[in-house]
Chain A
Amino acid sequence: MVASRAIGSLSRFSAFGIPRSRGYICRNFTRSSALLTRTHVNYGVKGDVAVVRLNSPNSKVNTLNKEIQSEFMEVMNEIWANDQIRSAVLISSKPGCFVAGADINMLAACKTSQEATRVSQDGQRIFEKLEKSTKPIVAAISGSCLGGGLELAISCQYRIATKDRKTVLGVPEVLLGILPGAGGTQRLPKMVGIPAAFDMMLTGRNIRADRAKKMGLVDQLVEPLGPGVKPPEERTIEYLEEVAVMFAKGLADKKITPKRDKGLVEKLTSYAMRIPFVRQQVYKTVEEKVRKQTKGLYPAPLKIIDAVKTGIEQGSDAGYLAESQKFGELAMTKESKALMGLYHGQVLCKKNKFGTPQKEVKQLAVLGAGLMGAGIAQVSVDKGLKTLLKDTTVAGLGRGQQQVFKGLNDKVKKKAVTSFERDSIFSNLIGQLDYKDFEKADMVIEAVFEDLSIKHKVLKEVEAVTPDHCVFASNTSALPIKEIAAVSKRPEKVIGMHYFSPVDKMQLLEIITTETTTRDTTASAVALGLKQGKVIIVVKDGPGFYTTRCLAPMMSEVIRILQEGVGPKKLDSLTTGFGFPVGAATLADEVGVDVAQHVAEDLGKAFGERFGGGNVELLKQMVAKGFLGRKSGKGFYIYQEGSKDKNLNSDMDSIFASLKLPAKPEASSDEDIQYRVVTRFVNEAVLCLQEGILATPEEGDIGAVFGLGFPPCLGGPFRFVDLYSAQKIVDRLRKYEAVYGKQFTPCQLLLDHANSPGKKFYQ
Chain B
Amino acid sequence: MTSILTYTFKNLPSTSKWALRFCVRPLSCSSQLRAAPAVQTKSKKTLAKPNLRNIVVVDGVRIPFLLSGTSYKDLMPHDLARAALLGLLHRTNVPKEVVDYIIFGTVIQEVKTSNVAREAALGAGFSDKTPAHTVTMACISSNQAMTTAVGLIASGQYDVVLAGGVELMSDVPIRHSRKMRKMMLDLSRAKTLGQRLSLLSKFRLNFLSPELPAVAEFSTSETMGHSADRLAAAFAISRLEQDEYALRSHSLAKKAQDEGLLSDIVPFKVPGKETVSKDNGIRPSSLEQMAKLKPAFIKPYGTVTAANSSFLTDGASAMLIMSEDKALAMGYKPKAYLRDFVYVSQDPKDQLLLGPTYATPKVLEKAGLTMSDIDVFEFHEAFSGQILANFKAMDSDWFAQNYMGRKTKVGALPLEKFNAWGGSLSLGHPFGATGCRLVMTAANRLRKEGGQFGLVAACAAGGQGHGMIVETYPK
Contacts and interface: CB of A to CB of B under 8 A. Distances in A.
Contacts of B301: 220, 243, 246-247
A232 B235 contact: no
A231 B298 CA distance: 22
Contacts of A243: 301
Given A223-B230, A239-B233, A420-B220, A229 B398 contact: yes
Nearest to A230: B398
Interface centre among A224, A227, A231, A420 (most CB of B within 10 A): A227
A741 interface: no
A119 B319 CA distance: 78
Contacts of A228: 231, 233-236, 389, 392-393, 399
Interface in B8-47: none
B298 A223 contact: yes
B219 A225 contact: no
B452 to A, nearest CB: 32
A610 interface: no
B3 interface: no
A557 B97 CA distance: 94
B147 interface: no
Nearest to A225: B234
B350 A223 contact: no
A348 B231 CA distance: 40
B439 to A, nearest CB: 30
Interface in B393-429: 393, 396, 398-399, 402-403
Nearest to B227: A226
A418 interface: yes
Interface in B193-240: 218-221, 226, 229-231, 233-236
Contacts of B298: 223
Nearest to A224: B230
A220 B226 CA distance: 16
A53 B469 CA distance: 49
A239 B219 CA distance: 25
Contact of A227 (B218, B220, B221, B350): B350
Interface residues of B, number: 26
Given A223-B230, A225-B230, A232 B396 contact: no
Contacts of A247: 301
A227 B230 contact: no
Contacts of B176: none
A226 B346 CA distance: 12
B74 interface: no
A239 B226 CA distance: 15
A226 B396 contact: no
B351 interface: yes
A226 to B, nearest CB: 2
Interface string A209-247: 000000000001001111111111001001100010011
Interface string B292-306: 000000100100000
Given A232-B234, A243-B301, A420-B219, A225 B398 contact: no
B399 A226 contact: no
Contact of B351 (A223, A227, A235, A418): A227
Nearest to A424: B219
Contacts of B389: 228
B255 interface: no
Interface in B347-366: 347, 349-351
A619 B464 CA distance: 63
Interface in B157-196: none
A225 B219 CA distance: 17
B403 A225 contact: no
B235 A223 contact: no
Contacts of B392: 228-229
B396 A223 contact: no
Contact of B396 (A225, A229, A231): A229
Interface centre among B229, B233, B235, B301 (most CB of A within 10 A): B233
Given A420-B219, A420-B220, A226 B236 contact: no
Contacts of A227: 234, 350-351, 399, 402-403
Interface in B306-325: none
A581 B54 CA distance: 77
B218 A226 contact: no
Contacts of B236: 228-229, 235, 238
Given A226-B234, A229-B398, A232-B350, 13 more contacts: A223-B298, A225-B234, A226-B230, A226-B231, A227-B350, A228-B235, A229-B235, A232-B234, A235-B236, A418-B220, A418-B221, A420-B220, A420-B221
30 contacts: A220-B301, A223-B226, A223-B229, A223-B230, A223-B233, A226-B230, A226-B231, A226-B347, A226-B349, A226-B351, A227-B350, A227-B403, A228-B234, A228-B235, A228-B389, A228-B392, A228-B399, A229-B236, A229-B392, A229-B393, A229-B398, A229-B399, A230-B398, A232-B234, A232-B350, A235-B234, A235-B236, A238-B236, A420-B218, A420-B219
Interface of A: 220, 223-232, 235, 238-239, 243, 246-247, 418, 420
